[in-house]
Structure 1
Amino acid sequence: VAPTGPTIVQTLLAPVLDRYDVVLLDTLPSLGVIVRNALVAAQLVIIPMQTEPLSAQSVSLMLDQVDFMRRSKLNPDLAVAGILFTMVDTRTNISRDVMEYARTTFGDSVPMFKTTIPRSTRVPESQARNETILTYDQHGKVAQAYRALAEEVVRATA
């Protein structure tokens, strides 16, 4: 019998979890069934935030979902590792303004990663070739940023 309901991902991962130190679930930017299932299975959540004005609303919605997971006892120990700024272009005022707004709005209650992921045309190029940015442009600024993020997460969770 196939698993159903909000614990599908958790049920499917259970038999293999002891084989891995870390399991990453990268979901679509939505609040649908798959994301809710991932939140039930997760220990930590990294909330990506594009440096665009409407992105703060998405962060608020995700924080509400995390709070719901805790209150409903679906995942009472779920924690937010932090907000990760993505598609950052520090040459623009809007990127800087959105990051400052997020720090002001969420900074007291939600950690912010020091690492930011820069905007780069290399990302959609890698996607078009069906390659990760780490293989497509392994020495590029985005790949370096993701490596720095991994190190930051490991340090924070050690």
Structure 2
Amino acid sequence: MCKVIAIANQKGGVAKTTTTINLGAGLVKSGKKVVLVDADPQGNLTMGLGFPKNLKVTLKSMMENIIMGLEFDPKEAILHHEEGVDLIPSNKLLAGMDMSLFTVEDREKVLKEYLELLKDEYDYILIDCMPSLGMLTLNALSAADSVLIPVQPQYYAADGLMELLKVVKGIHQRFNPDLQIEGILFTMDNCRYNNAKRNKQAIKTTYGSDIRIFEQTIPRTESLAETASEGVSIFAYDGKSKGADSYLELVQEVLKHA
């Protein structure tokens, strides 16, 4: 049975894309079939796996086929990465989809309808959401079984988290009654700093009784930052690093929660 996880936070720079790539690659290392969905017009996930920005067949193409009711091959957009993970790419042309969806009936379910055509092929579908709470993110959350929330342990993190959780609750009530919160993941964590410790504790105190908070945190490391320009996961780039170990631990926590 396929599980769809949206990786979302309206704040940028919290390692959503890094987490999507490395969680996906780690799940593949654990024997799972995984496809990653680039639902961000910036195309960082696509570029982060080493693919070009000028692709003709992308997530936008697939969603347009759904909107127009065309017959099409849902696998046409899928790219295969050398590490065994698949990708549905995006580029800046996806930006127009956010506005186009406003005129579409059942506009919040277009991505869900597309992903339903792929579920028999995969154990996990991971959606890398754009850093906003627009129509594309609403589509991702409506299509997902759960949402994983990367949070950088900074002073303002709790405010953004509260806003996102309100949106998740609204989508759960209106569009996707099965949507759960996979958990809050601390990323770019520097445990040596007292501020980071205090901010993590504040989030745990506020939300920990109702929401799962992953035991594993993702450290701020040079090797994780460098992978973005190398087109591979941390496992291929520096498999013995703290970053690689942390994502392997995260994979185990996600598998236990399946």
Q: Do these two structures clear the TM 0.5 threshold for a shared fold by scoring above it?
A: yes
Query: Relative contact order, CA 8 A, sep 6+: which one is greater?
Result: 2
Alignment correspondent of 1:23: 125
Distance in 1 of aligned mates of 2:137 and 2:225: 23
Report the alpha carbon displacement of residue 123 of structure 1 after superposing the two structures with TM. 2.0
Cα separation, 2, equivalents of 1:13 and 1:56: 31
Once the 2 structures are TM-superposed, how far is the Cα of residue 126 of structure 1 from its aligned partner?
Answer: 1.0
In the alignment, is the contact (CA less than 8 A) between 2:66 and 2:114 conserved in 1?
no
Aligned mate of 2:154, from 48, 52, 67: 52
Identity %: 33
Q: Secondary structure at the match of 2:183?
A: strand
How many angstroms apart in 2 are the aligned matches of 1:7 and 1:34? Answer: 10
Q: TM-score, normalised by structure 1?
A: 0.92
User: Unaligned stretches of 5+ in structure 1?
Assistant: none
CA distance in 2, matches of 1:134, 1:125: 12
Residue 25 of structure 1 aligns to a residue in which SS? strand
Q: Which moved more, 1:51-60 or 1:35-44?
A: 51-60
Aligned alpha-carbon RMSD (Å): 1.4
Find 1:95's aligned residue among 178, 196, 206: 196
Q: 1:138 aligns with which of 239, 245, 253?
A: 239
Gaps of 5+ in 2: 1-64, 68-100, 102-106
1: CA distance, partners of 2:182 / 2:192: 27
Higher strand share: 2
Q: TM-score, normalised by structure 2?
A: 0.58
Q: Aligned to 1:59, what secondary structure does the other structure show?
A: helix
Shift of 1:2: 3.8
Give the corresponding residue for 1:80.
181
Larger CA deviation: 38-47 vs 123-132: 123-132
Query: Which structure 1 residue ranges, 4+ long, deviate > 4 Å from structure 2?
Result: none
Q: Which residue of 2 aligns with 1:108?
A: 209
Distance in 2 separating the partners of 1:61 and 1:127: 28
CA distance in 2, matches of 1:9, 1:139: 37
SS of the counterpart of 1:91? Answer: coil
**Offset at 1:28?**
2.8
Paired position in structure 2 for 1:9: 111
Q: 1:134 to 1:30 in 2, by over 3 A?
A: farther
